[in-house]
């Protein structure tokens, strides 16, 4: 039986482990963003500004619901990483099977509820009337694909828990290529518009998830679960929910602020929505390294806590912080120079110059605060990997509060410029909580270990 390669991050150089583990993750996040970007780019250039605004107007709802699914799956992988670090293969198999059962339950419930109430959600968000139908046609298909989201994210999380960050990326690359081809075919050849973009996203992710399951089962002996581990175990489910639900809620709580902000931007009209979409897509692509660093630190923290090596946590934090700050400076300089051709990828010829100037503001304001964003991801995910997901939720509440304040109080008064500062304010607020929380937790864990 072939054996897949795993990575033990409890020994050796933290910097080396972090770089080796995060680079494949980064490629995965980049490709994941690529097919989101191609959706918006192809829709914006080949269908029109209304279609681009329709896709963009659903972004915060997408983040609220799909983000919860991804957060839960990431949370489920942490007890697995801890059992892997502790060399407890039996415990890991038990957690894995119960994570699968819970994922099936959540995917069914969330799919039914969100699809049924999709139209009401869009209306409540003040989605402009001239793009409401397009917005609904796009997001309802994405929501119907929630089981597919759970499939890929759960399996890739299980594999990453064993220290393998490469295998999920291979299938994500394949998914991205399929998505782009389907976008071009369904939109340009079959004239399916935003429906084609949504179908392409769901189908490509389904292919990626199924292939990931088949390959990993054949490749990793550790994922072969004997019958005695396949029964429902209340204690294992309790632990998974204890970690997974807070991580899912963290995404959702953060997204609530984004929903409020999106509602405020929607009230400014479709030009503002399209501008935020184009600028946001560019910014999100350049934020992928922070996602990779965060996911890396969740696994790093989980394995080292499982192995009882608390002293390695600070060393890992320092190493990844150096990488985060260096990248933030490089990204800021690049975006300050190259923002216009990047925005033009999403906007067809003859469109309003207001879209360009507004998108420029979004990109610049975000890039100026990339260092705080780096630490939001690094420290929050490290805390989660250490087993304190509930504490990390408060950082999400800080972000929600900041975006809600800007959306309710500042955007109605100061317009689009106020919307551009929402995320930077949210990141700073989260960091003000995360750093003290991390050092308090470290002190507590060292005290417990010394007993």
Global pTM reads 0.72
3-state helix, strand, coil in the chain (%, to 5): 85, 0, 15
pLDDT at residue 110 tops 90:
yes
CA–CA gap between residue 68 and residue 95 (Å, rounded) = 20
pLDDT at residue 362 tops 70:
yes
pLDDT of residue 351: 57
Bigger pLDDT: 286 vs 6: 286
Residue 349 pLDDT class (50, 70, 90 cuts): low
Q: What percent of the chain has pLDDT over 70?
A: 97
CA–CA gap between residue 43 and residue 348 (Å, rounded) = 10
Question: Per-domain residue ranges for the chain?
Answer: 14-449
If you compute the radius of gyration of the chain from its CA atoms, what whole number of angstroms results? 21
Average pLDDT over residues 96-114: 95
**Of residues 205, 229, 252, the one with CA closest to residue 94:** 229
pLDDT at residue 45 tops 80:
no
Tokens representing 131?
A: 């793009």
Residue 35 pLDDT class (50, 70, 90 cuts): low
**Of residues 89, 76, 146, 86, the one with CA closest to residue 116:** 146
Query: Is 9 in contact with 304 (CB distance < 8 Å)?
Result: yes
Residues 6+ away with beta carbon under 8 Å from 196: 182, 183, 185, 186, 187, 190
Sign of CA dihedral 123, 127, 130, 132: negative
pLDDT at residue 450 tops 80:
no
pLDDT of residue 369: 97
Average pLDDT over residues 418-436: 95
CA–CA gap between residue 290 and residue 382 (Å, rounded) = 12
CA–CA gap between residue 306 and residue 78 (Å, rounded) = 10
pLDDT of residue 248: 86
pLDDT at residue 49 tops 70:
yes
CA–CA gap between residue 202 and residue 144 (Å, rounded) = 9
Helix runs in 162-310, H state only: 167-183, 193-219, 234-266, 270-286, 288-306
Bigger pLDDT: 278 vs 31: 278
Q: Which residue has the tokens 């600070």?
A: 314
pLDDT of residue 6: 65
Average pLDDT over residues 300-325: 92
Per residue in 154-177, pLDDT (tens digit) is 998 888 888 787 888 888 888 888
pLDDT of residue 3: 42
343 φ, ψ to 5°? -65, -35
CA–CA gap between residue 400 and residue 222 (Å, rounded) = 39
Sign of CA dihedral 278, 283, 288, 294: negative
225 φ, ψ to 5°? -105, 120
Least reliable range by pLDDT among 23-37, 52-66, 176-190, 283-297: 23-37
pLDDT of residue 126: 84
Q: What percent of the chain has pLDDT over 90?
A: 41
């Amino acid at each position: 039986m072939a054996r897949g390669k795993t990575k033990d991050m409890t020994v050796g150089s933290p910097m080396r482990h972090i770089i080796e583990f995060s680079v494949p993750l980064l490629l995965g996040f980049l490709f994941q963003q690529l097919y989101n970007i191609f959706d918006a780019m192809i829709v914006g250039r080949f269908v029109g500004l209304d279609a681009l605004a329709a896709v963009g107007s659903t972004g915060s709802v997408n983040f609220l619901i799909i983000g919860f699914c991804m957060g839960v799956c990431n949370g489920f992988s942490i007890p697995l990483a801890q059992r892997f670090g502790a060399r407890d293969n039996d415990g890991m198999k038990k957690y894995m099977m119960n994570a699968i059962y819970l994922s099936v339950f959540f995917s069914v419930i969330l799919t039914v509820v969100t699809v049924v109430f999709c139209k009401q959600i869009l209306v409540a968000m003040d989605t402009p009337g001239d793009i409401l139908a397009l917005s609904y046609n796009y997001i309802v298909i994405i929501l119907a694909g929630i089981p597919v989201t759970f499939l890929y994210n759960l399996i890739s999380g299980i594999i990453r828990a064993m220290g393998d960050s490469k295998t999920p990326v291979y299938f994500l690359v394949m998914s991205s290529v399929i998505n782009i081809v389907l976008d071009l075919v369904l939109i340009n050849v079959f004239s399916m518009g935003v429906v084609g973009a949504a179908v392409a996203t769901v189908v490509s992710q389904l292919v990626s998830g199924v292939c990931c399951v088949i390959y990993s089962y054949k490749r990793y002996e550790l994922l072969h679960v004997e019958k005695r581990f396949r029964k429902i175990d209340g204690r294992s489910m309790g632990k998974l929910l204890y970690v997974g639900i807070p991580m899912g809620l963290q995404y959702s709580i953060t997204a609530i602020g984004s929903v409020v902000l999106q509602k405020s931007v929607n009230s400014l009209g479709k030009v503002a929505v399209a501008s935020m979409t184009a600028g946001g897509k560019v910014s999100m692509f350049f934020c992928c390294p922070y996602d990779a660093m965060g996911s890396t630190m969740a696994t790093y923290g989980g394995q080292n806590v499982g192995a009882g090596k608390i002293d390695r946590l600070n060393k890992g934090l320092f190493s990844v912080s150096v990488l985060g700050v260096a990248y933030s400076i490089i990204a800021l300089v690049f975006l300050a120079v190259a923002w216009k051709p990047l925005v033009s990828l999403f906007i067809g010829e003859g469109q309003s110059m207001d879209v360009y100037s507004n998108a420029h503001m979004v990109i610049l304001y975000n890039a100026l605060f990339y260092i705080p964003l780096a630490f939001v991801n690094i420290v929050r995910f490290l805390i989660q990997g250490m087993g304190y997901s509930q504490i990390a939720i408060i950082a999400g509440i800080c972000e929600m509060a900041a975006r809600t304040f800007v959306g309710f109080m500042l955007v109605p008064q100061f317009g689009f410029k106020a919307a551009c500062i929402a995320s930077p304010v949210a990141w700073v607020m989260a960091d003000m909580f995360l750093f003290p929380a991390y050092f308090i937790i470290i002190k507590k864990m060292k005290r417990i270990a010394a007993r």
